[in-house]
Every structure is written in structure tokens, then in C-alpha cells.
Amino acid sequence: MTVACTHLNQIRDVTPRTPNGCEECLKTGGQWVHLRLCLACGHVGCCDSSPNRHARKHAGKSGHAIVQSFEPGEDWRYCFVDDIEV
């Protein structure tokens, strides 16, 4: 059985709100490992390997399910809700 993402309709053409790093970490002086771009609103958050996991927290609070890697050379998307790459 193939699992399909049910949140593809959230994907928009977005501009990163904080292209220099995780929005919350930049405000608080936090550190991140990798960055993720919310494809619904342009929020830039830190990954699940980062201490604060801001990308996942943003998805939980906003309902914006799909992120894209915001790392140079990476080209993948992930849905937090459906737990799959899209």
C-alpha cells in the first residue's frame, strides 16, 4: 500500500522570512544543525536534530505540514503530518 501526502494543497511559492537562519534561534541566540523552509508561509526553522526543533514546532502550531530542506545542494520535501517525503 502506498501512502500519499494529503497536504500538497498547502504548497505555495514562498520567500524565506529569515534567509540567514532559523527565525526563532536568531531572536534568542539559539543554534541549529540544519534549516527547513515552510512551504506554506516561508518560515525558516531548525531541524529535528537541532536543540529546539523550531520547524516541527511551527508545523504543530500553524498547521503548515510541508517543509523543504533549506540547505545548499539539498532538494527534498517532507510532510510532518503524514511522516513522508513528498
| For the chain, counts of helices (H) and of strands (E) | 2, 5
User: Counting beta carbons within 10 angstroms of the beta carbon of residue 65, is it exposed (0 to 12), middle (13 to 18) or buried (19 or more)?
Assistant: buried
For the segment 20-67, what is each residue's pLDDT rounded down to a tens digit?
A: 999 999 999 999 999 999 999 999 999 999 999 999 999 999 999 999
Ordered domains of the chain (ranges, CATH): 8-85 (3.30.40.10)
Q: Is the pTM of this model over 0.85?
A: yes
Q: What are phi and psi of 38, to 5 degrees?
A: -70, 125
Distance, in Å, from the CA atom of 34 to the CA atom of 67, rounded to the nearest integer, reads: 12
The whole-angstrom separation of Cα 73 and Cα 71 is 6
